[in-house]
Amino acid sequence: TLKLYEYLDVVDRYDETPQHTAFFAELVKAIVCEAQRSLLASQLDQSRVLK
Protein backbone atom coordinates (compact mmCIF):
# COMPACT_ATOMS: atom_id res chain seq x y z
CA THR A 1 0.00 0.00 0.00
CA LEU A 2 1.07 3.57 -0.61
CA LYS A 3 1.44 6.03 2.21
CA LEU A 4 0.12 9.48 1.52
CA TYR A 5 2.27 12.28 2.86
CA GLU A 6 0.65 15.44 4.08
CA TYR A 7 1.62 18.92 2.94
CA LEU A 8 3.34 17.84 -0.27
CA ASP A 9 1.85 20.86 -1.99
CA VAL A 10 3.56 23.24 0.47
CA VAL A 11 6.99 24.15 -0.88
CA ASP A 12 9.37 27.02 -0.30
CA ARG A 13 9.17 29.73 -2.89
CA TYR A 14 12.03 29.70 -5.42
CA ASP A 15 14.55 32.47 -4.86
CA GLU A 16 16.78 33.71 -7.69
CA THR A 17 19.43 34.86 -5.24
CA PRO A 18 19.83 32.46 -2.35
CA GLN A 19 20.89 33.78 1.04
CA HIS A 20 24.41 32.33 0.83
CA THR A 21 25.24 34.12 -2.45
CA ALA A 22 26.58 37.19 -0.63
CA PHE A 23 28.91 35.03 1.48
CA PHE A 24 30.45 33.33 -1.55
CA ALA A 25 30.75 36.62 -3.45
CA GLU A 26 32.75 38.14 -0.57
CA LEU A 27 34.86 34.98 -0.30
CA VAL A 28 35.78 35.10 -3.99
CA LYS A 29 36.60 38.82 -3.76
CA ALA A 30 38.89 38.20 -0.79
CA ILE A 31 40.69 35.36 -2.59
CA VAL A 32 41.19 37.46 -5.74
CA CYS A 33 42.52 40.44 -3.74
CA GLU A 34 44.94 38.22 -1.83
CA ALA A 35 46.16 36.61 -5.07
CA GLN A 36 46.72 40.04 -6.65
CA ARG A 37 48.67 41.24 -3.61
CA SER A 38 50.76 38.09 -3.66
CA LEU A 39 51.54 38.46 -7.36
CA LEU A 40 52.45 42.13 -6.96
CA ALA A 41 54.74 41.32 -4.04
CA SER A 42 56.50 38.56 -5.97
CA GLN A 43 56.99 40.85 -8.97
CA LEU A 44 58.49 43.55 -6.73
CA ASP A 45 60.89 41.03 -5.20
CA GLN A 46 62.00 39.91 -8.66
CA SER A 47 62.61 43.48 -9.83
CA ARG A 48 64.78 44.16 -6.74
CA VAL A 49 66.88 41.08 -7.45
CA LEU A 50 67.37 42.06 -11.07
CA LYS A 51 68.67 45.54 -10.16
Residue among 47, 43, 25, 46 at smallest CA distance from 35: 43
Residue 49, pLDDT > 70, answer no
pLDDT digits (tens, 9 = 90+) for 10-43: 777 777 777 888 899 999 999 999 999 888 877 7
pLDDT reported for residue 9: 72
Q: Which of 1-5, 10-14, 46-50 has the highest mean pLDDT?
A: 10-14
- CA–CA gap between residue 10 and residue 42 (Å, rounded): 55
Residue 51, pLDDT > 90, answer no
Who's near 4: CB < 8 A, 6+ residues apart?
none
- pTM over 0.75, yes/no: no
Helix spans in 1-51 (H) = 21-50
